[in-house]
Homo-oligomer: A and B are copies of this chain.
Amino acid sequence: MRTVVEKLSHRGHEIVVVVPDISLQFKNFDKFTVKTFSVPYPEDFIESMIKDSSKEVFEERTVPQTIKTLYERVTNSTNWLLTSCKLFLQNETLIKYLEEAHFDVLLSDPAVPCGQIVAEYLSIPSVNFMRGTPFGMDEEASKSPSPPSYIPRLFTGYTDHMDFSQRVKNVVVRLLEYALCHMLYSPYAQVASEFLKRDVTSVDLFSRASIWLLRYDFVFEYPKPVMPNMVFIGGINCVNRKPLNQEFEKLVNSSGDHGFVVFSLGSMVSEIPMHKAMDIAEALRSIPQMVIWRYTGTAPSNLGENTHLVKWLPQNDLLAHPKARAFITHAGSHGIYEGICNAVPMVMLPLFGDQMDNAKRMESRGAGITLNVLDMTPEDLSNALTAVINNPSYKENIQRLSALHLDRPIHPLDLAVHWVEFVMRHKGAPHLRPAAHDLNWIQYHSIDVFAFLFAVLVTSLFISIKCCAFTYRCCCGRKSSRGKSKPKKE
C-alpha cells in the first residue's frame, strides 16, 4: 500500500498514517503524519511473533501438534489484532484528532476491519486495498459470485479444473468458511456495534468500501466473476525498479554466461535449521549458476563457491537483470508478481498461508516447480533448478505470462491513485454499488420467488387434477351409474 500512499502524497494529498506504537513497518517514516496509539505489548512483539512462526515452519511435528500450534498462533495473532483495534477506538485523543481532520477517504487493508469502523464513525468513504480476506469475506461483502465449481477455495491447493472429488471438497470448504468467517469477524462486529452505538454486522463493515483495489492479475489468479467496483492492480509492487548498487552489480556481472539464481524466502523467514540449510547448500553448489541467497543465519559449512549469502537483496532489481535465470521463492504474492513482471521461472518452496495456493497456480501455468521444503532432498532442489533453467518451456511460459501481465492500458499504480482520488472527488462511488446489498440471502438467491412459483405450479396441478377427476367422475360416474341401474331395471 505504501507505493500508492507515497504517490498520493507526491500528488499533494495530505496523508495521515495510523499505526500501533510498536508497529514495525512505519518506523522512520518521515513523509507522512504518523499517529500512533499505545498497545500493551513489548516493542519487539511483532518481530518475535514473526520469528516464532517462521521457526515453526521447519519443525517436524505430528498432526495433532501441528493443529495445536496453528490454533495457538491464530488465537495469539487474532487476539493481538482485536486488542489493538479496541485500544485504537478507546484512544479518545486520537479519535478526536481524526474527527477534526475531516478526511476525504480512508485507505485500509480490511483483513482487520478496524479502519472500516473508524471510517463509518467519521462518515467518510473508504477504499479497500488487499489481495484477499480470510474465508471469502471479500466475496460475501462485495456480492461477487464465486462458484465453487471452478473457483478453488484458498488453502485447498486446487486449480480451476477440479475433478468430482475435488469439487466436493471445495464445496465443503466453502460451507466451512461461512462458519469460520463468522467466528473470526463477529468480535469486530461487536466492537463496532458498541463503538457506533447501533447494530453492525461484520459484512456491513467490509461492504461499505466504495472501491476494492485488488492485487489481482488474471495471469496469476483464475478468471472468475468480479464486480464493477473492483479495480485490479496486481503487480503494483513491480513499480520501483532501480539500478543495482555497486555491490550487487559487481556480483551479478561476475556470474558469467550461466547467469545467476535469486533465492529468498521472504522477510518473514530469516533463519532455517542447519540440516535444512546444508541440504539446500548441497543442491545449490551442484548447479553451474551463481546463487544469491538472502540468509541471515549461520552459514552452512558445505556452502558452494557459487553461493553468496546476503543479509538483504534488492529482489525486484535482481530479477530484472538479464542474467537472472531462476528465482527460488516461498511463493508470497509479492515475490510471484516480481517473478512474473521480470519473466524469471521459479522454484517455489511455499511455507504457510496462501503460499501453497500461489505456488500451485504458477505450477499449473507451467511457469515453475513447487517443492515441499520439509521433504525435499538436495537432488529434488537441484533437479528442479536444472529443469526451470534448462527446459525452455518454463522460460517460454513465464515470458508469455509476463507479456500478458505487462500489456495493460494503464499502470496499476496510476490506476490505484486514480480510483482513490475518484472516491475523494465524488465522496464515494455509489453508482458502482450493486443493489444486491439491499437484499437478504433468501431474496438474493430468489428462493422466495422459486418457492412461490413452485407453490403456484403445485396448486395449478392439484386444481387441474381435481378438475380432471371431477369431470371423469361426472362422465364415467354417470355411465357407471347408468350401467349399475340397468341391471336393476332388467
Contact = CB atoms under 8 A, between A and B. Distances in A.
Interface of A: 143-145, 147-150, 160-161, 164, 167-168, 171-172, 218-219, 222-229, 232, 401, 403-404, 407, 409-410, 414-415, 418-419, 422, 425-426, 429, 431-436, 438-439, 443-446, 448-450, 452-453
Nearest to A430: B404
Contact of A436 (B150, B431, B450): B150
Contacts of A432: 218, 223
A232 B453 CA distance: 35
Nearest to A434: B223
A264 B429 CA distance: 32
A167 B429 CA distance: 26
Contacts of A223: 227-229, 431-435
Given A426-B403, A449-B171, A145 B225 contact: yes
A452 B145 contact: no
Given A149-B444, A149-B445, A150-B435, 19 more contacts: A145-B145, A147-B445, A148-B449, A149-B439, A150-B434, A150-B438, A150-B439, A160-B435, A161-B438, A164-B452, A171-B446, A219-B431, A222-B435, A223-B435, A225-B227, A226-B227, A404-B426, A404-B429, A407-B426
Contacts of A410: 409-410
A454 B438 CA distance: 31
Contacts of A431: 218-219, 223, 401, 404
Quickly give the copy total for this chain: 2
Contact of A172 (B229, B433, B443, B453): B453
A167 B451 CA distance: 12
Nearest to A422: B407
Nearest to A365: B431
Contacts of A433: 223
A131 to B, nearest CB: 16
Nearest to A174: B446
A164 B452 CA distance: 10
Given A407-B426, A425-B407, A443 B149 contact: yes
Candidate in A160, A409, A414, A445 with the most chain B CB atoms within 10 angstroms: A409
A228 B444 CA distance: 23
15 contacts: A145-B225, A147-B436, A149-B443, A149-B446, A150-B444, A160-B435, A167-B443, A171-B450, A218-B228, A223-B431, A225-B226, A225-B227, A225-B434, A228-B232, A401-B431
A449 B150 contact: no
Contacts of A445: 147, 149
Contacts of A446: 147-149, 167, 171
Contacts of A418: 409
A228 B226 contact: yes
A218 B226 CA distance: 14
